[in-house]
Amino acid sequence: MLWPHFSSLIFAMRPQRVQMTFLSGPGVKIDTKSDVKVLTNNQDDKSKEAWMRAPAGAVTVKSGEDALLTCVVLGAKERPVIWKRARDHQVLTAGNLRVTRDDRVQVLHDDSEEPLQGPGITKGGDVWALVIKTVKASDAGMYVCELNTEPPVRSFHKLTVISRGLTPPENQNTTDSYSANVPTLSSIAFSHNYTDCCLSANVTKSCLGYCSIQSILDGPGQDPEACQTDFPSIVKCMADGRNHVPCCVQEHIPDICQDVCRGEYSPVTDNIKTHYSCAASMDKTLACIVEGIELLPSQPEDVEVEPLNEKQLNVSWNPPTENTESVTEYIVNVTTLRSFDAHLIDPSESSLKNISDKTNTKNFKVPSNKTFLVINDLLPFTMYEITVTSYNIHGSSLPSYGIRSLTLTPGKMRNTEVAAAPKLPDVKGCCVKAGINHYGCVDKLCDPTKTYEIAFVGSNHQLQVTDLMICAPWAGITFGCLANGMDHSPCCRARGLPDTCLPLCSGNITTLDFNHFKCLRYMTAYTNCLLQGYGVLPGPPSRLHLTNIDTDYAVVHWAPPAVLADTVQYYHLHFKSLQSEEDYRTLDKVQSPYILENLESNTDYEIYVEAVNEHGVGESSPRLIFRTQSQVIEEEEENALAYNVTACCSNVGVSSVCMPLCAYDARMSDLRSLAPL
């Protein structure tokens, strides 16, 4: 089976061929080009030049098989040859003896004087082979064959272990042979460590060995097949928000192998199109990524899009975090996704003509000293996707995350002026006049803007209980002043407060005991009821409805509340699937209309909206239940319009046995079943 090309990377990514020259005292020189040699100070007849044949390439074996690493040493003169594991410098064998406790390790060496086949091999004793039986993923890495001279002569041998289901790449002389013709990778290749990114992406702990170039080269210690589900996150972190595709194109990396250059990963499925190997180009891919990390800017941060009116969108962002000073310009990409019938929103707006669906893309250049752009001349009530890309003289970042936004309907404009909300009652003054002289109680229990802070929050729970116990003698005064002469019980009951806590809402409480400590968890709802009773919070949003319900998204609309609409700063949108037991998911700081995305097809959802002003969250809108469209029906409609490959194969007389391959989505299992024929 051919593995997709990031898995090929696991056993094909390795150091470029290098030329190394070491000096170790006068008259001693090791020149590691095509052969590894040592010239000693003693130039007598018995001590001739000793050298090693460079390995032909990396050794790749499947898990569970035996690995054989061959070292050819000429001119050893009975000096012992040592095999070491490079990553921990552990000595495995010395001469013909096994030093390690691992009984899977052996050394093969022929001490006979009979010549062996091969140029330059004068006797059997020139060949030293390290055998590792029944190899495991942890055996992968670099091994060193060392002649015990002063200084020592060494050759380096790469062992790659792949899972049983994988096919190794061609054994190319691109890694462990030494050549003066290929430039070495920058040291940043080995220092590019993206472990923090992998951790934030929840990569499995056992797969973190793939989150550093150095650890991949040394052997990540985990079977790539076990990390397949983590590879999309790993590859994305490796690219680090840079666009390495131009470099990959320049290096003639095939199109099908450029997904890693974009920080993408193609998982293996039964579909034949996912079965390909890019091992031959992985060294160039790695070199491009390493170069890009050093030179290219990262993606712009915190991209936001705000509709201003029916024809304008305001786009803003923050500069990239990496190579910020090198940015010369930003490119804002605006793509028209689809236009809707505006009369579906409001019958009074039915004068707008229908606009057919069409895709149109525009790019806008923005100088590096600006981080915003107002886009003009757009279509009313149309969905646009916006991305921002950083550029410098070397290339560009990857585009930022795509943000989708709707322009407003004709005649509507975003209200940019927010009126001041009504003032709160003087609860602190009420408490002081009633005789509370403890500053902590006045500050914490007589301020309606802080009562929500009295809640169960981890280790602070004991402190909050202590505060309530200290303030218990003044409970009747504090909660009476907070109630401000009104009974907030109906609101508290509607927001889920238990009956034990309702006296707090009415203000009719004389003593505070341990039964009331359970109310701590409801203090946020209690605070909102107080503010609602004071008349300082906006009312519920009105006219909540949906349009353009699709398989994975819907457009949500609502109107401002009837009460204090001019004080509203933004809205919170809550939604949940009725098929699951999950709680509501909340989208903060949104405006109408809003595109609710990433929904499941043919699924029932419940939504509601809350208005927010400077004091807090107002009463919620009525709940609305809707169902997304069926993906199956949509796929059937698309298939009906697709080219019929099967019919074409039938018309030209393809054998019925081979007909399973006459499809765009041909399966690997079908191909295997036909292989014996």
For residues 151 and 677, what is the distance between their CA atoms, to the nearest angstrom?
60
- R_g over Cα of the chain: 35
For residues 54 and 370, what is the distance between their CA atoms, to the nearest angstrom?
55
| CA distances in angstroms from 296 to 13, 71, 331, 371, 394, listed in the order given | 22, 42, 15, 18, 6
Total residues found in the chain within this entry: 677
Provide the b/e sequence for 261-274 (b: ≥16 CB within 10 Å). bbbebbebeeebee
| CA distances in angstroms from 96 to 65, 82, 93, 269, listed in the order given | 22, 9, 7, 47
Q: Alpha-carbon dihedral of residues 259, 261, 264, 269, nearest 10 degrees?
A: 30
Q: Which residues contact 491 (CB under 8 A, 6 or more apart)?
A: 505, 528, 529, 532, 533
pTM of the model: 0.53
State whether residue 504 is helix, strand or coil.
Answer: helix
For residues 97 and 110, what is the distance between their CA atoms, to the nearest angstrom?
13
| CA distances in angstroms from 239 to 15, 193, 276, 322, 323, listed in the order given | 18, 11, 21, 13, 15
For residues 667 and 202, what is the distance between their CA atoms, to the nearest angstrom?
31
| Amino acid residing at 247 | C
For residues 367 and 105, what is the distance between their CA atoms, to the nearest angstrom?
62
pLDDT tens per residue across span 185-218: 444 445 678 889 999 889 999 888 888 877 776 7
Q: Which residues contact 19 (CB under 8 A, 6 or more apart)?
A: 32, 33, 178, 179, 180, 184
Query: How confident is the model at residue 659, as a pLDDT?
Result: 81
Query: How confident is the model at residue 165, as a pLDDT?
Result: 46
- Which is more confidently placed, 566 or 632? 566
pLDDT tens per residue across span 296-341: 999 999 898 888 888 889 999 999 999 999 999 999 999 988 655 4
SS3 content of the chain, % helix, strand, coil (to 5): 30, 25, 45
- Contact criterion met (CB below 8 Å) for 313 and 382: no
- Contact criterion met (CB below 8 Å) for 603 and 577: yes
- Contact criterion met (CB below 8 Å) for 233 and 6: no
Instruction: Give the Cβ contact number of residue 170 at 10 Å.
Output: 11
- Residue 61 phi/psi, 5-degree rounding, is -130, 160
DSSP element (H, E) containing 10: helix 5-12
For residues 264 and 236, what is the distance between their CA atoms, to the nearest angstrom?
6
| Amino acid residing at 654 | V
For residues 292 and 468, what is the distance between their CA atoms, to the nearest angstrom?
58
DSSP element (H, E) containing 466: helix 461-471
pLDDT tens per residue across span 239-253: 999 999 999 998 888
For residues 655 and 538, what is the distance between their CA atoms, to the nearest angstrom?
72
Instruction: Give the Cβ contact number of residue 18 at 10 Å.
Output: 14
For residues 107 and 111, what is the distance between their CA atoms, to the nearest angstrom?
12
Provide the b/e sequence for 662-675 (b: ≥16 CB within 10 Å). beeebebeeeeeee
Instruction: Quote the mean pLDDT of the chain.
Output: 77
- How does strand 153-162 pair with strand 59-62? parallel
Residue with tokens 């050794």: 59
- The helix/strand count (H/E) of the chain reads as 17, 28
Q: Smallest Cα–Cα separation from 131: which of 166, 169, 86, 93?
A: 93
| CA distances in angstroms from 340 to 411, 591, 592, listed in the order given | 16, 18, 15
For residues 522 and 389, what is the distance between their CA atoms, to the nearest angstrom?
45
Task: Reply yes or no on whether the pLDDT at 638 is more than 70.
Answer: no
State whether residue 273 is helix, strand or coil.
Answer: helix
Token pair of 298, please?
């990262």
Structural domains of the chain ordered from first start: 17-162 (2.60.40.10), 188-295 (no CATH), 301-406 (2.60.40.10), 427-534 (no CATH), 542-631 (2.60.40.10), 643-674 (no CATH)
- Residue 588 phi/psi, 5-degree rounding, is -85, 150
pLDDT tens per residue across span 495-549: 888 988 888 898 888 777 777 777 878 888 888 888 888 888 898 999 898 888 8
Query: How confident is the model at residue 412, as a pLDDT?
Result: 66
Instruction: Give the Cβ contact number of residue 630 at 10 Å.
Output: 13
For residues 263 and 106, what is the distance between their CA atoms, to the nearest angstrom?
41
pLDDT tens per residue across span 423-473: 888 988 999 998 888 887 888 778 887 776 665 444 444 446 666 677 778
At 397, the pLDDT band (50, 70, 90 cuts) reads very high
pLDDT tens per residue across span 589-603: 998 888 898 898 889
DSSP state letter for 470: H
Provide the percentage of residues in the chain whose pLDDT is more than 90.
18
